[in-house]
Amino acid sequence: MGVASSLGTEVETFWQNVITGQCGIDRVTSFDISDYPCQIAAEVKDFDPTPAFPNPKEVRRADRFTQMGVFAAWKALEDSAMTLEELDRDQIGCFIGSGIGGLGTTEKQHTILTSRGPGKVSPFMIPMLILNMASGVFSIYNGLRGPNVATCSACATSTHALGEAWRTIKMGDAKAIFAGGAEAAVVPMSMSGFAAMRAMSTRNDDPQHASRPFDIGRDGFVMGEGAGVLVLEEMDHAIMRGGRIYCEIVGYGNTADANHLTAPDPDGKGAARCMQMALRSGGLDNDNVDYINAHGTSTPQGDICETKAIRSVFKEHADQIAVNSTKGATGHMLGAAGAVEMILTAKALQTGIAPPTINYENPDPECDLDYVPNEAREMEISAALNNSFGFGGHNATIAATKFTGYAARVA
């Protein structure tokens, strides 16, 4: 697994910061934010992508989202201990998506176009801004010739990437896939557009407490940037080479609300069907699930709809499930959110620690689940879900279980 986030660019650092309740949200520093309604975000500060690239020139030819995606994939490769030269790279793929792509490049090149004319637009503009480039570039640098796509489904993007990668491996079309997402949308156009929708928190005087999933005082999401990439691998292939196994992905759900451009189904029906699909494909009963990493964006309606969806699926067992959102710590990383949260879900399964929902101070009567408030919890976690829901009504859920079978399988 590999990550680039406001709380660290090493998985273990990131994990420790999340479970100890740290927050990566602060006032935006990358441009003058003083005239914007929302002036806070979770930026990846002092980010250096150069170790993941062949040379500095290639870094300059990549948008920030590509830099982060390639970096996270490179860290995932490092963590996996794969020796690519010893493996069949026709069987190794990349599914690294983005919800928005190179918006920073689009802004910059549009300014050049309008101020200096079309002859001054960079010949690298198109390959820098298109959202498939993190997936494409990483495969180019590492000679990965297996299946290669870039998903785009808003905030469900990287969870769809994981699910489709899992499905591709199950179909026998690859042995391993680098799957996840990258986003670098802390830029003027994005910050103004989301603010115009009144989707973002305006708690500018208190950035650390602005994102408060499921709390009755929540007033919108806070933008985050970064990337998360996981190596999904066919079980026997991973065991054969002695790979580190964090957890086993067993199921995947993919549904649509078919309801509204931005608003979720008011009763959470699409999200509920998505979780049911993941459980069904994973052969899990409702009472098998111990933990859910919720989408939990800290928006007034979204958190209620997800709570309704969980209750409708799990009935009485819903009260026995630890449900958290880590977006109070990381901000909402849009197309990267699902993969970053899958990293946390995998660590929760591996360690038996449920991360906290920070800034949960005042309960909302319409959000009545166990949200692991403010402090991490040691508990038995045998099976977990990771939810992601995006504008356009896109829903994605991954079901995963604790991996306990290495010794038995090797024997």
Domains and CATH numbers, the chain: 2-240 (3.40.47.10), 247-402 (3.40.47.10)
Q: Are 341 and 326 in contact (CB under 8 A)?
A: yes
Which amino acid appears at position 56 of this protein?
P
Amino acid at 156: A
pLDDT, residue 410, reads 42
Task: Say which of 295, 305, 367, 394 is annotated catalytic.
Answer: 295
Q: Is 295 a catalytic residue?
A: yes
pTM of structure: 0.96
Q: Are strands 383-390 and 394-402 parallel, antiparallel or unpaired?
A: antiparallel
The residues, any chain, with a CB within 8 Å of residue 148's CB and separated by 6 or more, are: 93, 94, 95, 135, 136, 139
Q: How far is CA 189 from CA 115, 161, 219, 258, 327, in A?
A: 18, 26, 21, 27, 22
CB-count burial class (<10 Å; 0-12, 13-18, 19+) for 348: buried
pLDDT for 406: 56
Catalytic-residue membership of 274: no
- Out of 152, 274, 332, 367, the active site residue is 332
**Which residue of the set 155, 247, 305, 367 is catalytic?**
155
pLDDT digits (tens, 9 = 90+) for 87-135: 999 999 999 999 999 999 999 999 999 999 999 999 999 999 999 999 9
Contact criterion met (CB below 8 Å) for 212 and 221: no
**Model confidence pLDDT, tens digit, residues 372-398:** 999 999 999 999 999 999 988 999 999
Mark whether 160 is an active-site residue. no
Contact status, residue 194 vs residue 314, Cβ threshold 8 Å: no
Given pLDDT bands bounded at 50, 70 and 90, which one contains residue 262? confident
